[in-house]
Each structure stands twice: as structure tokens, then as C-alpha cells.
Structure 1
Amino acid sequence: MTIEAMVAKACPGSTVTDVKERTGGQLSSVFEVQRENDEPLIVKVYKPEWAWKQAKEVHVYGLLEGVFDGEVPRVIHAEPAGDQDAFTVLTKIEGVPLSEAEPPDWQPIYVQLGKILHRMHQIPQPAYGYLVDQILEPLPDNEQYVQRQFAKKLGEFEQLGGDPALHQQITEYVAKHTADLAIDHAVLCHNDFHEGNILVDPQTWQVTGFIDVENAIAADPLMDVAKTVAYSIRDNAEKFAGLEAGYGALDPEKLALYRVYHSLELWDWFKSIGETTYLDSIAGDIAGLVSGTV
């Protein structure tokens, strides 16, 4: 089925004037569609083995829609796999990725991002775990969830040939720092809230919205914040000050623990797909975090 036919099924009567492929990732292909006398659309076509991701996106965007008005894509139509690949038609959020912009002052941008994350983290979840249209293998408390995730990623690290000494350091660090992680309840976590998924207006430097909920989980809100720190802030004091001003006070020990987790997960992912460029630097980051030098 052509992109034009997909749009016609979702929005009968629309006249497509242009189709531009925006990404062609490992999970799906994403197209921007211009229409005559109407708002542009995004069409996402899933590879067969990843068609199950459609249900996740529909569910998570539905949860977000009640909190964010116009700041996240709205699902217009979701077509399951049949004679054609599964596809989803969504509204388009205006703006450019923050990763492609250079604001004159990073702190006000990150104040906005902190506020967005804080709003998202008001969406409660009934348990901890990976989120699709329900929580898979749910756990009742944060300690069990974090310990399970670390055990899984440490096992992968070992199987993938990670440094045994670093494995031992991480194991000891986790045992020491996962004894008291209790929180009231799990919340919706974007789990990929980095500059590539955040859209801004480069004229006003207002955040216009965010996209890509494929990694969403139900977890401790600080696990979400920690991924933003690990992927986009790192040691940038200006960005971190803005994030904390917008979000609220952040527990440094928890942030460090969750940064170790996200870095370990990233190392495992890169090694599993044969991408070796960043492995040493990621391992160095982990070593610094567990030793307290970062």
C-alpha cells in the first residue's frame, strides 16, 4: 500500500501534495506528508517483526494526550498488519529537533524540559515494568524492578564479553545502592527523553513538543530523568541547573545509580549490533560513576 493510500484510508478526501521520508530506522520508516489545504501528517510504517510496537505507541500517546495538549502527536488512525505492513497516521508536531539547534542559552530550554518531565511523571502506573498496552512482567515495587533490570543487563554484559573487572565493580556498586529505592508508585516514563526527541521553535526557543515513545516504561520518575542526564546533559552544569529548576530537587545518588544502568544498557546494545566506536568511552563513564569520580 502506498503512503497516499494509507492517508486516504485515515483521512478520506485528503489530497496529498508531497511525501518525504524522514527516517528509515531499524524498527520502522517515518514519512512526512503534506496535504492540500490541510495540516501535514506523519505516517509510520512498521517492519513486520516490530508491528507489536504499534499498540504501544497508541496506548502511550493516549495516556499523554490527557496531559499534553498539542505537545505530543495525536493518533488519527492505526492500521494493524494484514495484506500490508502495519501503519499509524499521526498529527505532526511543528519544530526542529533540539539536537539540530544551538540555542543562545541552554538553561531556559532545560527549565522547560524539566517542567515537561514533571508533568509526565504525574501519570501513575499500576506496577513496574516494560510498557506496551499493558505492563509486561509487572513487579510491585521499585527495588525488585531495578534489581531485575541490573541483573539482566549485567548478564548481557558478561555474555557480550564485557570487562570482568568492570562487571565486578558494577555488581558491588549495585548491591550497595539498591537497598532503599522505595517510592510511592510507578509513573509513566518516556525513557528516551533526549535532545533528538525534543522539538523546539528556533525563533522563540520554546519547546513545541516531544516524540518517540517506543521505549516507554513504568518506573521511578528519576530513572527517566537520569536518561536525559546520561544522554543529553552529562557534565553540562548549565543544562543540569535548568533541568533541576524546572523539575525540582534531584537525588544525586539515585541519579548516579540510574545513569549506570542506562550506560550499561547502551553498552550492551551497541556491542550486540556490532557498533564498537563508543564502547570504551561508555565503559569509562560507567567506571567513573561507580567509583564516584564522575
Structure 2
Amino acid sequence: MIDRSLNQEQAAEILCPVWPEATVTDVRSRTGGQLSSVYEVRCAEPAESVIVKVYADQWRWKQAKEVYVYRLLRAHGVGSIPEILRVEPDTGPLGCAFTVMTMLPGQPLSHIVGDLDEGQVAHVYRQLGATLAGIHCIGQPAYGYLVTGILDPEPDNTAYMTRQFAKKLAEFAELGGDSALHAAVNAHVANRTDMFRRCEAPVLCHNDFHEGNILVEQSAGKWTVTGFIDVENAVAADPLLDLAKTDYYAMHGDPVKRAAFVQGYGSLPDDWSERSAPYRLYHALELWDWFASIGETAPLPGIADDIRALI
């Protein structure tokens, strides 16, 4: 997380163009990421509480991407997502880039899922499946990483995934990954490129659709999904790439979660599970690279074991 602080006077200044009569009552730091700091700005009525996301200079392009993807989703009427209220890509009153957006109700699913019974888990995961299916209705013109368009687009999925695996394997080697495991992954993927060819067209993929990014609240004894956040990893890709990441990060092969998710998602190709396998491997490799790159070594042996199991 970047080292920034936001006080009530600054919060009132940046909210003035949005709600001139708003009175800021409190500013609270929220969980952020490596690239930004996140604040909840609480206001007296009639104004609403908002989220302010502050970016370091080198990550302004991430800000532009987040705004682009949220607006794309809103234009297609997908899910409950934050509304962008103000975008300041330059220094502005905070001396850095920031975005103001509405705050969705609820709390992260990750905070409460451990306390739910199987019926409640299934109820929530059916909603997750339906939400992700809605995102995947937004077609894309090519395969690749999204910013405010597709960066280095590839015309087909085989070219895109071959490039991505090559990139992640190179990072794995540079970061000190086991050479035998590197060779095994490389050979495994080379023998399964036919799986990538089966994707007919790219779609918008959230690419981080896990329990920490899903918001829920309880109503009439049932937990309801109120929205999703964090679109900074979005890509244009095979929708099964997205399903595979949710499976690896959130479902972990749990039969209740998986069955409910698939039911909520709706129509899937008959070979979806087979085709998803190389993508789960890709996400495990990518996660190993990420932790190694930031010096978090504790998770690496467990992820390496996952990689071995997946091949």
C-alpha cells in the first residue's frame, strides 16, 4: 500500500465538486493493495459515504483502467458496482491521483463464509456464478490485458495463452523457481495447446473474482451478494480463465461451492472442466511469481505443491 494519509479537510475539498453541501464526519482507512490506498469517507446526510482511492504516480494507468472497466460494466448493466463520481488523474488537491466512487453496502464474503452452513454457501455461490456470467456477456475484439483498451492484443487464445505461460515461466526462473518444475510445466502446457484453441471468442474477464472481492449482506436470514469490486486485473480472454481463477482462489475444489457456482453461471461447454485445468495451472504459477516478486516466501512451497498436483 502506498504511504498516503487523508484527513477530513482534504476529503471535504475533494468531495465539494460532487456534493457541495456535504459535511465530512469521519475518514477511515480501508484495506488497500500494493498499488493504492483506500479510504472510506463518511458524510452527514443527505450526502452518502464514499470511497476515495489514492494512487502513487507510477500507477496512474491503473486508475485509468479501473475507471474504464467500471464504466464498461455499468454501460452493460452488469451487477452492482461502484459508480465513479470524480476522477483526478493529475496531482489535484491531494498532490497525487485519486478516484472518488460510491461505496457498496455489505462486507467481504471472505469475512463470513466460514460461518455459513452448506445451504447458505450454495445460495451465495449461485449468485456468484450468475454475476460472473453477466460479466462474460461483454465481448471483446481480441485477447490481452485491458487498460483503456487491449494492450498488445492477440488474435486467438492459443497465441495469448502461449505468450502468457512463457512470460510467467520466465519470471518463475528469474525468481529462483525449481528448474525441474519449470521444465515439467513447460512440457505439460506444450502438450495441451489444443485446449486453448477451443475458445471461440474473448470476453471481459474480472480475473480476480474471489471471496475477498465479493460484498454480501444479510437480509431476512439470507446472505445476498450486493456487488463486487477490484477490477484492476481485468483481461480480455476465455471466460474459462476467469472460472478457473475463482475455482483456484475461492472454491478450492469444494463440491458444494462448485456445483452451486456452475448452476448459477448457467450454460457451460461440456468440456469446461477439462479446458479449465491448464488455466488453474496458470493461476497457480502466476501466484507463485507474485509472492516471490514481493519477497513473501512462506506461501511458495504450498503453491509449488499445487503446481505439481496440477500437472
Give the TM-score of the pair, scaled to structure 1.
0.95
Question: Judging changes above 3 Å, is the alpha-carbon distance between structure 1 residues 70 and 288 closer, same or farther for their aligned structure 2 residues?
Answer: closer
**Which residue of structure 2 lines up, in the alignment, with residue 228 of structure 1?**
246
| 1:103 and 1:205 in contact (8 A); partners too | no
**Which residue of structure 2 lines up, in the alignment, with residue 243 of structure 1?**
261
1:35 aligns with 2:51: no
**Which residue of structure 1 lines up, in the alignment, with residue 69 of structure 2?**
60
Within 2, Cα distance between the matches of 1:241 and 1:25? 31
1:288 aligns with 2:293: no
Give the TM-score of the pair, scaled to structure 2.
0.90
1:269 aligns with 2:293: no
Matches within 5 A, 1:26-105: 26-37=34-45, 38-68=47-77, 71-82=80-91, 84-101=95-112, 102-104=115-117, 105=120
Q: CA deviation at 1:266?
A: 0.4
Letter in 1 for 2:304: A
Percent identity for Structure 1 against Structure 2:
53
| 1:10 and 1:89 in contact (8 A); partners too | no
Q: CA deviation at 1:28?
A: 0.7
Within 2, Cα distance between the matches of 1:76 and 1:70? 18
Q: Decide which of 111, 124, 148 is 1:109's aligned counterpart.
A: 124
Comparing 16-25 and 204-213, the one that deviates more: 16-25
Please give the secondary structure, in 2, of the residue aligned with 1:116.
Answer: helix
Q: CA deviation at 1:151?
A: 0.3
**Which residue of structure 1 lines up, in the alignment, with residue 196 of structure 2?**
181
| 1:267 and 1:283 in contact (8 A); partners too | yes
| 2:79 and 2:134 in contact (8 A); partners too | no
**Which residue of structure 2 lines up, in the alignment, with residue 260 of structure 1?**
281
| 1:70 and 1:93 in contact (8 A); partners too | no
Comparing 213-222 and 180-189, the one that deviates more: 180-189
Question: Judging changes above 3 Å, is the alpha-carbon distance between structure 1 residues 186 and 59 closer, same or farther for their aligned structure 2 residues?
Answer: same
Please give the secondary structure, in 2, of the residue aligned with 1:10.
Answer: coil
* Aligned length, in residue pairs: 290
Superposed CA offset, 1:2-22 (max 9, x none): 222211233322211111111
| 2:11 and 2:24 in contact (8 A); partners too | no
Within 1, Cα distance between the matches of 2:18 and 2:223? 33
Please give the secondary structure, in 1, of the residue aligned with 2:21.
Answer: coil
| 2:128 and 2:261 in contact (8 A); partners too | yes
Within 2, Cα distance between the matches of 1:11 and 1:56? 25
Letter in 1 for 2:178: D
Within 2, Cα distance between the matches of 1:50 and 1:71? 25
| 2:109 and 2:214 in contact (8 A); partners too | yes
| 2:35 and 2:59 in contact (8 A); partners too | yes
| 1:27 and 1:50 in contact (8 A); partners too | yes
Comparing 178-187 and 274-283, the one that deviates more: 178-187
| 1:61 and 1:73 in contact (8 A); partners too | yes
Q: CA deviation at 1:51?
A: 1.4
Comparing 4-13 and 260-269, the one that deviates more: 4-13
**Which residue of structure 1 lines up, in the alignment, with residue 3 of structure 2?**
none
Q: CA deviation at 1:67?
A: 3.4
Superposed CA offset, 1:149-184 (max 9, x none): 000000111111111111111111101111242323
**Which residue of structure 2 lines up, in the alignment, with residue 132 of structure 1?**
147
Within 2, Cα distance between the matches of 1:89 and 1:280? 39
Letter in 2 for 1:148: R
Please give the secondary structure, in 1, of the residue aligned with 2:298.
Answer: coil
Q: CA deviation at 1:69?
A: 6.2
Letter in 2 for 1:201: E
Q: Decide which of 197, 206, 211 is 2:224's aligned counterpart.
A: 206
Letter in 2 for 1:264: L
| 1:67 and 1:119 in contact (8 A); partners too | no
Superposed CA offset, 1:216-248 (max 9, x none): 111110101111001011121110111111113
Comparing 175-184 and 22-31, the one that deviates more: 175-184
> What value does the CA root-mean-square deviation take over the aligned residues?
1.5
**Which residue of structure 2 lines up, in the alignment, with residue 154 of structure 1?**
169
Question: Judging changes above 3 Å, is the alpha-carbon distance between structure 1 residues 108 and 24 closer, same or farther for their aligned structure 2 residues?
Answer: closer
Comparing 103-112 and 142-151, the one that deviates more: 103-112
